[in-house]
C-alpha cells in the first residue's frame, strides 16, 4: 500500500505528534508498505529519506503551547505537488483542525483520507470561530482516529462526528536497554524530568518547588532535566545552594534520551493538563523507570490508576515531594512499579498499534483508487 502521511508540526523540533508520525512511519515501512511524510521543515534541515519538506514553519500559540506550523501559498503548492506525485492509496492527516498542512492536504485531495486527532482541551474560541472554514476540509475525511478518549471527546464536542480509538504507540524495544549517563543515578538518589521546560503545562515549576524541599532534606539528591528550554531561566528558579545538584542536559538526541531514562531512580511527570495520552510516560515505562506522575486523566489511564506508576494531586508540590521521598526510600516498591510498567506498556507497542491503523486504511481504501488532486477549491 502507498501511504502519504501529513505531519502538522515542524519536524526538527521534538514533540509528541512528530514522534507518533515518525514511529508509525517506521512501523509501516517495516511491514513492507511504501510511505512518504510531508512536514514543515527548513529546506536545509537534515531529514529522514521518507520526509518531504513543506517549507519553514512559524510559531503559533495552540492548545496551551507554541506549535511551529506551516500555512501559506508555498506550503499549499508543495502539498499539492506531493499528493500529485505520490499517487497514494490512502492519505493520513494528523491534527487536521490545526492551522497547518492537514487542512491544506484535505482541501487539496480527493480520495480516501484518514485523520488522527491528538489534542484535547475543554474549550477553544479559535476552533469555534474557525469551524465553518474547517468544515470544507473536514467533510472530506473518510475515517477518523482519536489517540485517547479525551481527544475523541474534544473532536465530538468541537467538530462533530466520532472516531475509532487507537492509542499512541511506542517502540518499546528502543527504550528497554541503555547504559546510564556517567555517574548516574549515584548513591544518594536521582529524580528525572523530560519535556519542554518552557511550557507551564509540562509542570516543571511544580517539580522545582518540590525539589527545594527534597534537596534540603536529602543532601545528595540530584535532579536530571532534559528537553528544550532556556537553561539560564531554569537555573534562576533554583536556590543557589541547590543549583549544582540540578543537571540540565537541554535538548538531547534520541539515544541520550533513552540513557537519561535509565539514569534516574524516579521519573517524574508533573504535567498540569492538556495531555490526551502521555507518550513520555509510555517511553519511561518502556525503559522500566519507576514513575511518579500527576493525576491527570490521561496519565491515570496509562498508568492503570496507579498500578504502573505512582500518582500525586495535580500541581501539588508538597504532595510530589512526599510521594518522591517514599519511593526513594522503598526500593521494592520501585521495582514493583518498574515491572508493572513494562508489562502495561506492551499494549502500546507499535507492532500492535500500527496494525490497527492499517486496518483503518484497508477499510477506507477498498477499490476507490488513488488519492488525487481535488478539482474544486475551498
Residues 51 and 154 in one domain: yes
Residues 182 and 71 in one domain: no
pLDDT at 198 over 90: no
Q: What's the domain range around 292? A: 174-346
The answer to whether position 375 is within a domain reads no
pLDDT tens, residue by residue, 165-188: 999 999 999 999 999 999 999 999
Q: What pLDDT was estimated at residue 164?
A: 95
Residues 114 and 186 in one domain: no
Residues 148 and 276 in one domain: no
Question: What's the mean pLDDT when you consider all of the chain?
Answer: 90
pLDDT tens, residue by residue, 31-84: 999 999 999 998 888 999 999 999 887 766 655 555 566 677 889 999 999 999
Q: What pLDDT was estimated at residue 378?
A: 54
Domain count, the chain: 2
Confidence of residue 122 (pLDDT cuts 50, 70, 90): low
Residues 79 and 181 in one domain: no
pLDDT tens, residue by residue, 85-103: 999 999 999 999 888 899 9
Residues 251 and 327 in one domain: yes
Q: What pLDDT was estimated at residue 78?
A: 94
pLDDT at 218 over 80: yes
Residues 213 and 311 in one domain: yes
The answer to whether position 378 is within a domain reads no
Residues 311 and 363 in one domain: no
Residues 141 and 224 in one domain: no
The answer to whether position 373 is within a domain reads no
CA distance 47 to 49: 6
Residues 231 and 159 in one domain: no
Confidence of residue 374 (pLDDT cuts 50, 70, 90): confident
pLDDT tens, residue by residue, 126-162: 555 455 667 778 899 999 999 988 888 888 887 778 8
What's the CATH code of the domain at 248? 3.40.50.2000
pLDDT tens, residue by residue, 281-334: 999 999 999 999 999 988 999 999 999 999 999 999 999 999 999 999 999 999
Amino acid at each position: 500500500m502507498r501511504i502519504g502521511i501529513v505531519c502538522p508540526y515542524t519536524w526538527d523540533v521534538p514533540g509528541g505528534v512528530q514522534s507518533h508520525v515518525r514511529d508509525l512511519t517506521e512501523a509501516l515501512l517495516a511491514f513492507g508498505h511504501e510511505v512518504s511524510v510531508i512536514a514543515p521543515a527548513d529546506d536545509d534541515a537534515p531529514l529522514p529519506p521518507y520526509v518531504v519538506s513543506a517549507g519553514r514553519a512559524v510559531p503559533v500559540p495552540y492548545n496551551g503551547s507554541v506549535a511551529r506550523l506551516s500555512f501559506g501559498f508555498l506550503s499549499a503548492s508543495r502539498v499539492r505537488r506531493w499528493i500529485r506525485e505520490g499517487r497514494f492509496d490512502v492519505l493520513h492527516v494528523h491534527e487536521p483542525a490545526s492551522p497547518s498542512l492537514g487542512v491544506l492536504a484535505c482541501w487539496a485531495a480527493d480520495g480516501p483520507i484518514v485523520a488522527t486527532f491528538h489534542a484535547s482541551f475543554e474549550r477553544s474560541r479559535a476552533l469555534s470561530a474557525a469551524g465553518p472554514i474547517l468544515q470544507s476540509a473536514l467533510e472530506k475525511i473518510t475515517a477518523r482516529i482519536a489517540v485517547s478518549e479525551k481527544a475523541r471527546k474534544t473532536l465530538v464536542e468541537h467538530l462533530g462526528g466520532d472516531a475509532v480509538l487507537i492509542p499512541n504507540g511506542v517502540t518499546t524495544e528502543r527504550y528497554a536497554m541503555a547504559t546510564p549517563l556517567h555517574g548516574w543515578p549515584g548513591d544518594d538518589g536521582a529524580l528525572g524530568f523530560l519535556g519542554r521546560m518552557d511550557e507551564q503545562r509540562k509542570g516543571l515549576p511544580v517539580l522545582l518547588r518540590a525539589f527545594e524541599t527534597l534537596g534540603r532534606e536529602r543532601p545528595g539528591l540530584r535532579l536530571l532535566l532534559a528537553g528544550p528550554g532556556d537553561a539560564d531561566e531554569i537555573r534562576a528558579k533554583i536556590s543557589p545552594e541547590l543549583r549544582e545538584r540540578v543537571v540540565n542536559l537541554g535538548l538531547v538526541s534520541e539515544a541520550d534520551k533513552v540513557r537519561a531514562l535509565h539514569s534516574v531512580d524516579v521519573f517524574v511527570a508533573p504535567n498540569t493538563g492538556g495531555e490526551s495520552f502521555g507518550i513520555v510516560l509510555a517511553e519511561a515505562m518502556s525503559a522500566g523507570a519507576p514513575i511518579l506522575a500527576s493525576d491527570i486523566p490521561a496519565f491515570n489511564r496509562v498508568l492503570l490508576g496507579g498500578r504502573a506508576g505512582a500518582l500525586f494531586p495535580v500541581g501539588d508540590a508538597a504532595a510530589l515531594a512526599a510521594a518522591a521521598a517514599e519511593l526513594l526510600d522503598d526500593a521494592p516498591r520501585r521495582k514493583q512499579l518498574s515491572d508493572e510498567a513494562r508489562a502495561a506498556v506492551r499494549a502500546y507497542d507499535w507492532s500492535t498499534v500500527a496494525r490497527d491503523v492499517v486496518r483503518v486504511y484497508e477499510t477506507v481504501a477498498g477499490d476507490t483508487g488513488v488519492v488525487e488532486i481535488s478539482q474544486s477549491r475551498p
